[in-house]
Structure 1
Amino acid sequence: MSVFGNIIWFICGGFFSALSWLLAGILWSITIIGLPVGKQCFKFAALAACPFGKEIVYGGGAGSLILNIFWMILTGIPMALESLVMGVLLCITIIGIPFGLQHFKMAKLALMPFGSQIIYT
């Protein structure tokens, strides 16, 4: 069932979400200092393309907190707003609610990507 959900997800906004994560990863990877951030972006672009059947576990320490603060200021807030708007638009219809909830999951991830892990369920 998650394969079917991922196919519909990719058509109903997952492509644009994954594209924005890829673009953020490319921009962060321009400098050597931004390579770890870019690597996280590429990892979450794969999640944004196929989120059904995967959960996110948040954790991390002081290093993750510092990176999350820089990330939120420079990139996280616009990406979270994008996912939030797409989630609200999809939740207008009953059929779109599961896809809107996935966008809300991506919005939370866009604010705190460091220290989080993808768990396959």
Structure 2
Amino acid sequence: MNFIGNLLWLIFGGILGAIFWLIAGLLLCVTIIGIPFGIQCFKISSFVLWPFGREIELGNFGAGGLILNIIWVIVLGWELAVTHLVIGLFLCITVIGIPFGIQHFKFAQLGLIPFGARIY
């Protein structure tokens, strides 16, 4: 079932979402300060490509991760989180779109707290 969900996800916007996260990562890696943020974007991009059957565990960060998460939310994270939240709410209007909306809610969490998040 996860394979079919991932296949439908790719067809209906998963590739586009992964490309957006990849472009954000490339833009952030232009500067030395943005490299840690860009690396997180690359990790999230791979998760956006195949989200079904994978879960997120948030909150495993120390003081450095907390500082990076605060900077992330101020600079770029809140825009990505709000975007995924709005898309998820829009998809949850229909019964067929509910699984895809739930995946967008996962991405909204990652948009707020990417450092310290574990994907398994």
Shorter-chain TM-score bucket reads over 0.9
Deviating above 2 A after TM superposition, structure 1's stretches of 4 or more consecutive aligned residues are none
Deviations 1:63-88 (A, max 9, x none): 11100011011110111111111101
Q: How far did residue 39 of structure 1 move? A: 0.9
Q: Taking structure 1 as the reference length, what is the TM-score of the superposition?
A: 0.93
Shift of 1:108: 0.8
Structure 1 match to 2:33: 33
SS in structure 1 opposite 2:56? strand
Aligned partners of 2:33 and 2:75: how far apart in 1? 14
- Normalised to the residue count of structure 2, the TM-score between the two structures is 0.94
Aligned to 1:54, what secondary structure does the other structure show? coil
Runs of 5+ consecutive residues of structure 2 not aligned to the other structure? none
Amino acid at match of 1:37: F
Spell out the pairing of 1:6-21 with structure 2 (5 A cutoff): 6-21=6-21
RMSD: 1.0
Q: Within 1, Cα distance between the matches of 2:90 and 2:13?
A: 10
Which AA in structure 2 matches 1:91? C
State, as a whole percentage, how many aligned pairs show the same letter.
Answer: 54
Structure 1: gaps of 5 or more residues = none
